Amino acid sequence: MPVFGGAIDVTVRARASVDAARRGPGGPAVVTVRAQVSMREHCRSLPALRTLAAGGLLLAASAQAQNDEFVAPYVPTVEEDVELMLDVAGVRPDDYVIDLGSGDGRIAIAAARRGALAHGVELDPELVELARANAAESGVSERVAFLQGDIFEADIGRATVVTLYLFPDANLMLRPKLLAELRPGTRVVSNSFHMGEWQPDVHDMSARSSGGVLLWIVPARIAGEWSVEIDDGAFSLVVQQQFQEIDVDIGIESDVAGVWSGLAAGTATLTGDRIRFDAESDTVRLSFDGRIGDGVMEGYVQTVHEQRFFVGRWRALPAAASSR
Ligand SMILES: C[S@@+](CC[C@H](N)C(=O)[O-])C[C@H]1O[C@@H](n2cnc3c(N)ncnc32)[C@H](O)[C@@H]1O
């Protein structure tokens, strides 16, 4: 049977200046704290562990851990929440799932059971071995792998879904890497813990874990000025962006007259690599829907003018690039 149930050992380790007597020969100082936590209680165990670790142990790890340091203890996600995390992320057979800090492997294994390819990254070599054994027991070894290593150095660009069960501090340390290395549209799902000012797109509170399950969709980076062309006109678009929140402003040459005169932007949304925004003047209404890729935004625009309806194409390039 896969070793997924029953009471668990919770191990907190941090590289820190601690009792030198525990320092292994030539190795980093490692402190191990063990506590028995039942699976049923695990949701409440993380706050308890934080208290346990408050003597500087775990916080030392999460404050500046980047290199081979544990930023969260081993506490497995309860099975129901494993399935909920995969449901919220919408994991399908064509996904590639990476669990950062994979513990006994249960999330990556559950993803593989759904037909996805998956791998876990875990610092603790014993947990890596356990996860591999669990994958073999579950008959999914061909679709899942476990790599021993540091999540901050992991190669994550292939993922379509990333799963996390780390502390908020660790999520925050990981955030720049997620935003820089994951492709727009990649889903990031976290058991219980937030990502600071990057607000979740979904926060499902039906989880057994008291913090719920949170989902973010990695947004394309589109801040700046763009030159937009549509079938019978051109204008500039200035985008301000804070994660997935965008504001757009339309710039029209001052001597432009007719339907284009006074065109102003309305609502705008960005979901992964998909942008939608409206623009309106006294006489025309435009609804843009497009995708961002390779430094180009393009798609379709619906125009409503004098009670007539047209569909055309639009395309935008960064303003600096288009003026070259
Ligand atoms: C709360 S457990 C979550 C395990 C699994 N993802 C789950 O949800 O069942 C966090 C895991 O992250 C691992 N971990 C902590 N810091 C890490 C680091 N810097 N690199 C890789 N793994 C790390 C821990 O060893 C632990 O197994």
| Annotated domain spans of the chain | 8-64, 79-217, 224-322
Residue bearing the CA closest to ligand 1, atom 23: 101
Average pLDDT of the chain to the nearest whole number: 82
Extract the tokens encoding 85.
Answer: 């995390």
Q: Residue 289 above 60 pLDDT?
A: yes
**Stretch 223-234: mean pLDDT:** 90
What pLDDT, on a 0 to 100 scale, did the predictor assign at position 12? 35
Q: Kindly give the distance from the C-alpha atom of residue 192 to the centroid of ligand 1, in angstroms, as a whole number.
A: 14
Would you say the CB of residue 72 lies under 6 angstroms from ligand 1?
Answer: yes
Q: Taking Cα atoms as reference points, which of 240, 191, 225, 195 lies closest to residue 320?
A: 225
What pLDDT, on a 0 to 100 scale, did the predictor assign at position 15? 31
**Stretch 110-138: mean pLDDT:** 98
Phi then psi for 76, rounded to 5 degrees? Answer: -70, 150
Domains 79-217 and 224-322 share a fold: no
Atom number in ligand 1 closest to CA 99:
6
Q: Residue 272 above 50 pLDDT?
A: yes
Residue bearing the CA closest to ligand 1, atom 9: 76
**Stretch 132-160: mean pLDDT:** 98
Would you say the CB of residue 101 lies under 6 angstroms from ligand 1?
Answer: yes
Would you say the CB of residue 164 lies under 6 angstroms from ligand 1?
Answer: no
> 284 near 303, Cβ under 8 Å?
yes
Greater pLDDT, 257 or 104: 104
Residue in 166, 189, 191 to alter for ligand 1 test, most ligand atoms within 8 A of Cβ: 166
**Stretch 283-310: mean pLDDT:** 94
Residue bearing the CA closest to ligand 1, atom 16: 70
Would you say the CB of residue 277 lies under 6 angstroms from ligand 1?
Answer: no
Q: Give residue 323's pLDDT band: very low, low, confident or very high (50, 70, 90).
A: low
pTM of the model: 0.81
Q: Residue 319 above 60 pLDDT?
A: yes
What pLDDT, on a 0 to 100 scale, did the predictor assign at position 251? 86
What pLDDT, on a 0 to 100 scale, did the predictor assign at position 33? 29
What pLDDT, on a 0 to 100 scale, did the predictor assign at position 234? 86
- Reported as a single tens digit per residue, the pLDDT across 175-217 is 999 999 999 999 999 999 999 999 999 999 999 999 999 999 9
Torsion angle (degrees, nearest 10) of CA 250, 218, 209, 94: 130
Greater pLDDT, 25 or 162: 162
Q: Give the range among 17-21, 63-67, 215-219, 250-254 with minimum mean pLDDT.
A: 17-21
Would you say the CB of residue 110 lies under 6 angstroms from ligand 1?
Answer: no
Q: Kindly give the distance from the C-alpha atom of residue 206 to the centroid of ligand 1, in angstroms, as a whole number.
A: 23
Q: CATH for 79-217, among 3.60.40.10, 3.40.50.300, 3.40.50.150, 3.30.379.10?
A: 3.40.50.150
Q: Residue 2 above 60 pLDDT?
A: no
Beta strands of 55-184 (E only): which ranges?
A: 96-100, 117-122, 144-148, 161-164
Atom number in ligand 1 closest to CA 69:
19
* CATH number for region 224-322: 2.40.128.30
Q: Kindly give the distance from the C-alpha atom of residue 94 to the centroid of ligand 1, in angstroms, as a whole number.
A: 25
- Reported as a single tens digit per residue, the pLDDT across 11-28 is 333 332 222 222 232 333
Q: Give the range among 43-47, 166-170, 188-192, 318-322 with minimum mean pLDDT.
A: 43-47
- Reported as a single tens digit per residue, the pLDDT across 17-61 is 222 222 232 333 232 222 323 323 333 344 443 333 332 323 333
What pLDDT, on a 0 to 100 scale, did the predictor assign at position 98? 99
Neighbours of 211 (CB within 10 A): 17
In this prediction, what percent of the chain has a pLDDT beyond 90?
Answer: 69
What pLDDT, on a 0 to 100 scale, did the predictor assign at position 195? 97
What pLDDT, on a 0 to 100 scale, did the predictor assign at position 67? 57
Walk across the sheet containing 296-305 and list its strands: 245-251, 233-242, 224-230, 308-318, 296-305, 284-293, 274-280, 264-271
What pLDDT, on a 0 to 100 scale, did the predictor assign at position 14? 35
Residue bearing the CA closest to ligand 1, atom 12: 101
Q: Kindly give the distance from the C-alpha atom of residue 103 to the centroid of ligand 1, in angstroms, as a whole number.
A: 5
Would you say the CB of residue 165 lies under 6 angstroms from ligand 1?
Answer: yes
